[in-house]
Structure 1
Amino acid sequence: MSKNDNGHISEWLNEEFAYRETDLRMFMSNHYKLEMGFALLCVSGEALLTIGVLENRIIPDTELIVLPKSTISLVSASEDFRVRMFVFSSELMDNTSLRLGSSLFLFLRDTPFFQHTPNCTLLRNLNVLMDNAELVSGEKTNEMVELMRFNFLQNYFIYLYDKCQNHFSHLFKTYSHKRSLFFQFLSILDEHYEKERNVAFYADQLAITPRYLRKITAENANFKSPKEMIDKRLIIEIETLLYKTDYSLQEIAEQLNFPDQSYLSRYFKSHKGCSPLHYRKAIKFLN
């Protein structure tokens, strides 16, 4: 692994398209809201990675697709944890995915990872795709590089679309009604958490009662209630803004629909045990 695989996040995670082999430790111990998306394949070791409020266990032969605008954090990783991955900009994804419609990306948002069987055809094909991503990423001076990136990403999504329909369709069949509602709740939460913190709002969007939403949450995630999930998503966003921006507490309060910065501070301290300013100083000192 080269020295620049782990720091310098802004250098390659903000490129239109890039390939790396890395251990993801640039995402350790903090939450990062990414403008780009990425696809990865775990080649060794294991890790716990959160996407939004959900924790995913990554082991060898896990394929993970993270769409743009996601918030992620590496919770833990073994010393030998390593992945192959390529990143792509939101604009590049939008341009290449127009012909596929929304169904694939709704599926990927709800089911971002798949565990491949060792030495299976799908895994071999995925490694070939990663080889191609490395090739395209290395083409910096080719006058057709933008077309190469477009064609690669479009082919990757078309390949996924076919496999989601023909190989992963059983996942849809095994989803219970409660599981389906749970994923819908996650999608609605990701869209509205900045403005809506009332459980009744999300239950109403799903056409169910708050009590039933609580039951769904308890059965499908390690959270006691939907309110706990709403608070967790909001705290993640506050932490991200404290670390990644220089926004004042008042600006953060306004963005996240708090009455004022004092209310924001009390809310944050009740969940994290320290004030927002103390958290900002501590996390920037550690990094």
Structure 2
Amino acid sequence: MIFEGPYDPPDGALRLLNPGPAELVLNRRGSSVWKVRTEAGPYAVKVGYPSRTHAWTALAPAREAAVLRQLTHERIFSGEWEYGTWAAQPWRRGDSLYDRWAPCRKGEAQPDLGEALSCAAALSGLHGMGWVHGDVQPAHFLLGEPDGAFLIDLALSRGGRIPRSCDFPYRGCLVHYEAPEISAGVLDSGTATPTREADVYALGAALFISATGWRHVDYPDGASREDQRWAIVTRPHRPVNVPGVLGGLITRMLSRSPADRPTGAEVCETLSAAR
């Protein structure tokens, strides 16, 4: 059976949230995401289902809910439905890093070091709590909250106990941001181990593409995931043409050796000193 979506919030979510109007904001890769109004404020309801290429996407909402319950005291809801799981969490406002830096890609502005620092601080904060994100990409940093960037989409994160009913192996992330060791692991065995070092590499790749519009490694737009990963494993990253301190920092973050990359905290220190 081919699952396409979008799928409406299941009855279990509706009974718990008693929502008002709902707006579909995303439907791709096995997830329908709705913004719903509730008495407690707006919530994001994620409805997971098997995608054309992955069955684990059906379990992702419940897995993310299990992670969030260990990281926040907010009201997080989750449950099962006919084709997978669903979860609800408070809605996060803001623009993605990629959208916020659109003027940089047009040559109309320079990357904002304060915004880069805010993204690095969000990731470093997660690392400080003993977790790795595993799916760092520009769309997962939201800029606009009063306290700085907010890091979303934690379904692939590792660091605590996850119920067996919603757990699944780590099979890499969006390949455009994978570190070479992650791509190599997936090519070799189908799975990999997410790490803080790989998160930092992905942050470097996210900053680079947001500022320039270029992926960190060159491969054709229509390349298969396997070919993309081979390119990341075997080819050097593109020259980092971002000026100033940020360019030098991104170059270090994209080091092939995990040991040569700065930590998230060191990224924050460098950006703080440069502001």
| Common fold by TM > 0.5 | no
More helix by share: 1
Provide TM-score, normalisation by structure 2.
Answer: 0.28
Q: Which has the larger radius of gyration?
A: 1
